[in-house]
Structure 1
Amino acid sequence: MPNEESVSEPLLYADLFCGCGGMSLGFEQTGFECVGAIDKNEHAVATYASNIGTTPLQGDVTNYSADELLDKFGIERGELDVLIACAPCQGFSQHQNKHDFDHDERNTLVSFSAELAVEIQPEFFVIENVPELVRGSKEKYWARTYEILKQAGYLVEHDILNAADFGVPQRRKRAIIVARRDGRLVELPDACTEEPRTVRDAIGDLPAVEAGETHDTDSMHQAPNHTSRIVTMLNHIPNDGGSWMDIPEPHQDEFWLDSMKKRAKKGDTGSFCDTYGRMHWDRPAGTITRKSSTPSCGRYVHPEQNRNITVREAARLQSFPDSWIFEGPFISWYEQNGNAVPPKLGEAIAEKIRELRPITDKGARQMTFDAL
C-alpha cells in the first residue's frame, strides 16, 4: 500500500469546442482527467466518446451558462484545473472574405469563452486558434479577450507556436494562449531541440494502397477515390515533392486548367503551386486541413503513390496514435482530423501546466478553493 502522502488526485480539465479530441488527448496522455466536454458536431462527439472515454454534450456552447456547464460537468466553481477553448477558427482565417469577417459570429466565440472561464474560475485557461487571432487587423477580438481575462486577475501569455517544434510531423503555426488565475506564473512550452519529424518518419512504414482502397488490417488506412483522369495526372507528377507545375510539357495541355496556364504564364503561382502537390518525404508535411482528402486543395498527395493521403496517414501527420478511430461518414474523418489540435502539441501544453502546478499540490489547492 502506498502511504497516504504519496497518493495524488488527478488534475481536472474540461474542453469546450472539443472537436474529435486532439487537445484532450494531449492532456489525457499527460495524466489529466476529463470532467466534461461539448461540441456541436455529432460525428466529432462520437469520435471523442469512443477514444477519450467521456461522452461530450452535443450542442452549442453559447446556449449554456457557466452554472449549467458546471452542473453538467459535476464540478464546483473554482475546482477545475484547466478549461480548454479551441473555438472554430475559420472566422479568423486569412482566407476569410474581408467583407464577411466582421459579421462572422465565430469571431466572438473566443471572447465568449473567456467570459465563461472567468465565471467557471479554472486555474488555467487554454486557447488554441489560427495566428490571425493575435496579429494584424483581427487583433481587436484578441484585445477584447485579453481585457476580460486581465480584469478578472488572470496573467496571460501568448505566442504563435509551430507544431513541428513539438514532435508533430507537420508545419502548423497556431496562436497558443495560456492564462492563469490570481496573476500567478504562467509560461508556454519550450520547443523541443530534436530535429523535426518528417513525412517519412510518420507514414513511411505504412503499406501501399490504391485510390479508393482500404487496407485490410486498418479501416482508417483508406484512401479517397479519384477519377481515372486524376490518377493519370498524378502519375505524371514527379515523386517526392512534385506538383502540377512539374507535369511534363507534352501533357500540360491535357491536365493544366486555364487558371494554371495563366499563373504559369505570369510566373506568379504563390501557394497555388501546392495544389495537386506530392508531399516531400524528408520534410514535415504542410498544414493538414479539413480539406486534406482533396488533391486540388493543397499538397496532400502521397510522396510516391498516385493518390491522396489516407485517413490514417493524415492522422499520423497530426500525431494521433494508430489506436485512434474516427466515427461518422468517411469525408468527416478528414474534417475531424484537420480541425483537431495535434495531440503532441496539446501534450506539450499540458506538461508545462503540470510543471507549473505540481499534481501533489492539488489537495492543498482544493482547500483554498473551498474557502472562496
Structure 2
Amino acid sequence: MDITAVDLFCGAGGLTHGLIQAGINVKLGVDIDQNCKYPYETNNNAKFIGCSVEDITGKDLAKYFDTSSIRLLAGCAPCQTFSTYNQKANSTDKRWWLLMQFSRLVKESSPDIVTMENVPGLLSQDIFHTFVNNLKMAGYFVDYKVVNSAEYGLPQRRRRLVLLASQKGPIELLSPKALDVEIHTVRDAIAHLPSLKDGEMHPDDPLHQCSSLSLLNRKRMNASLPGGTWRDWDEELIADCHKKTSGKTYPGVYARMEWDKPAPTITTQYYGFGNGRFGHPEQNRAISLREGAIFQGFPRDYQFIRHGESINKRIIGRMIGNAVPVKLGEVIGKSILSHLKNNCA
C-alpha cells in the first residue's frame, strides 16, 4: 500500500529510518536543529527543512503528501520538558507547547494516520489529553500505550509512550508476540566491535571513539563490575556528593552495562562514564558514540557527519540520545501497514 509520510521533530532520522524499513515512503523531515540535516538527508533520501514547526503550515506539508496515497503525519515533540529527569520544566518552557503545534498541523493537513512517540511522563500532563481529545473530535480513532522497546527487539531498555490515530478505523500497536520478536542484549549489539582504550578512536570509523578518563575515573572503572554500582567501591573512590544522604539514591551512575541484558536507556550524555550505566561491560571505558547509536537501532554505517569533519561529542550525543529508536519506528510502521490492510482492503 502506498503511504507518504512527513516526520515532524525528525532529528537525525531515527523514526524516519524505521518507517522506511517498514516500507513507508517518508518525503520530509522537519527539525529546528540544523545539525540534523546531513544525517537525515544522507541516510534517508528525504528532504530536510530546518525550522521550528511553529513556522510550518498545513499547506507547506501538502506539497510533500501524494494525494493518491495514504498520508501519515508522524513526530516526537521534544520530550525533555516531560521527562522525569527534568525537575524544573513546566508550562513556561516554550517547548511545552510544541505538542499543540503538532495538533494544529494535524487539523490543517488532515492526514489519514497520525503517530507520536514521547516519554511516559507525558501521560500525566493535561496537554497530552488535550492533544488526544483534539484528535477524537476531528474523527480519529486513537490508541496509545507505554511500551518497553527492549520487548520489541531493541538492545536497550527504553520505556516510551506511543500513540497511533487513524481516520480509517480502530488502530493499535502490534504486540511483540504478533511480530515474533527476539530479545537482543548488549552482547548481541556491540560485542563484535573493535576494542578501544579510553580516549581512543578507531581509524576505520571515527564515530567509534570514546571519552578520555581522568586518573580517578580510571581507578573507579577498574573497580566497577557489570551490573554493580559505586557502592561496591573502596571509600576513597566514592564521590563526596554520593556520601551525602541525598546522593545515596543515585546508584545508577559510574556503572558498567551487563553483557547479557539490554542496555539501559541511552541519554544525550551516554558517552560519559559518570552520567549513567554507560561503562563498557569489559573494556575500561565508557561506550563509544557508535555503540550508543547501535543501541538506538541505527545501522552501523549510519552517517552523522561528513567525511573528515571534526566530531563534537555533545552534538552527536544529543542527536543520538534524542532519537526515536529505529526499531520502534519500524514497529510503528508495520503496525500502520497491518491496520491499513485490515481497514482498506
TM-score for the superposition, normalised by structure 1: 0.85
Query: Cα distance 1:360–1:322, how it changes in 2: closer, same or farther (>3 A)?
Result: farther
**For residues 183-332 of structure 1, what are the structure 2 equivalents within 5 Å?**
184-192=169-177, 194=181, 196-238=183-225, 240-247=226-233, 249=234, 252-253=235-236, 255-263=237-245, 269-270=248-249, 272-327=250-305, 329-332=312-315
Corresponding residue number in structure 1 for 2:331: 348
- Amino acid of the residue matched to residue 110 of structure 1? L
1:225, CA displacement in angstroms? 2.0
Per-residue CA shift, 1:95-133, capped at 9, x if unaligned? 2235x4121222221222022112211111000000011
1:31, CA displacement in angstroms? 1.4
**For residues 1-372 of structure 1, what are the structure 2 equivalents within 5 Å?**
10-71=2-63, 73=64, 75=66, 80-98=70-88, 100-135=89-124, 138=125, 140-181=126-167, 184-192=169-177, 194=181, 196-238=183-225, 240-247=226-233, 249=234, 252-253=235-236, 255-263=237-245, 269-270=248-249, 272-327=250-305, 329-358=312-341
Gaps of 5+ in 1: 1-7, 365-372
1:79, CA displacement in angstroms? 5.2
- Sequence identity percentage: 33
Question: What is the alpha-carbon distance in structure 2 between the residues aligned to residue 352 and residue 107 of structure 1?
Answer: 28
Per-residue CA shift, 1:156-203, capped at 9, x if unaligned? 000001100111011100110000015x12111212455521111111
Per-residue CA shift, 1:296-316, capped at 9, x if unaligned? 211011011111100111111
Deviates more, 1:302-311 or 1:320-329: 320-329
Question: What is the alpha-carbon distance in structure 2 between the residues aligned to residue 340 and residue 222 of structure 1?
Answer: 20
- Amino acid of the residue matched to residue 302 of structure 2? W
1:61, CA displacement in angstroms? 1.0
Question: What is the alpha-carbon distance in structure 2 between the residues aligned to residue 144 and residue 114 of structure 1?
Answer: 9
**Residues 291 and 297 of structure 1 are in contact (CA less than 8 Å); yes or no, is this contact kept in structure 2?**
yes
Corresponding residue number in structure 1 for 2:308: none
- Amino acid of the residue matched to residue 274 of structure 1? G
**Residues 53 and 101 of structure 2 are in contact (CA less than 8 Å); yes or no, is this contact kept in structure 1?**
no
Aligned Cα RMSD in Å? Answer: 2.1
Per-residue CA shift, 1:314-347, capped at 9, x if unaligned? 1111111112121263332211111011111110
Gaps of 5+ in 2: 306-310
Count of matched residue pairs: 338
* Structure having the higher Rg: 1
Question: What is the alpha-carbon distance in structure 1 between the residues aligned to residue 314 and residue 287 of structure 2?
Answer: 13
Question: What is the alpha-carbon distance in structure 2 between the residues aligned to residue 33 and residue 345 of structure 1?
Answer: 17
Question: What is the alpha-carbon distance in structure 2 between the residues aligned to residue 213 and residue 141 of structure 1?
Answer: 45
**Residues 46 and 55 of structure 1 are in contact (CA less than 8 Å); yes or no, is this contact kept in structure 2?**
no
Question: What is the alpha-carbon distance in structure 2 between the residues aligned to residue 146 and residue 48 of structure 1?
Answer: 29
Question: What is the alpha-carbon distance in structure 2 between the residues aligned to residue 237 and residue 333 of structure 1?
Answer: 27
Question: What is the alpha-carbon distance in structure 2 between the residues aligned to residue 155 and residue 115 of structure 1?
Answer: 17
Per-residue CA shift, 1:201-245, capped at 9, x if unaligned? 11111111011111122222111222233223211222x223322
- SS of residue matched to 1:230: helix
Deviates more, 1:344-353 or 1:62-71: 62-71
Question: What is the alpha-carbon distance in structure 2 between the residues aligned to residue 333 and residue 43 of structure 1?
Answer: 9
**Residues 221 and 284 of structure 2 are in contact (CA less than 8 Å); yes or no, is this contact kept in structure 1?**
yes
Deviates more, 1:272-281 or 1:225-234: 225-234
Compare the two structures and name the one with the higher helix fraction. Answer: 1
Question: What is the alpha-carbon distance in structure 1 between the residues aligned to residue 17 and residue 300 of structure 2?
Answer: 13
Question: What is the alpha-carbon distance in structure 1 between the residues aligned to residue 174 and residue 343 of structure 2?
Answer: 21
Deviating beyond 6 angstroms after TM superposition, the runs of 4 or more aligned structure 1 residues are none
TM-score for the superposition, normalised by structure 2: 0.92
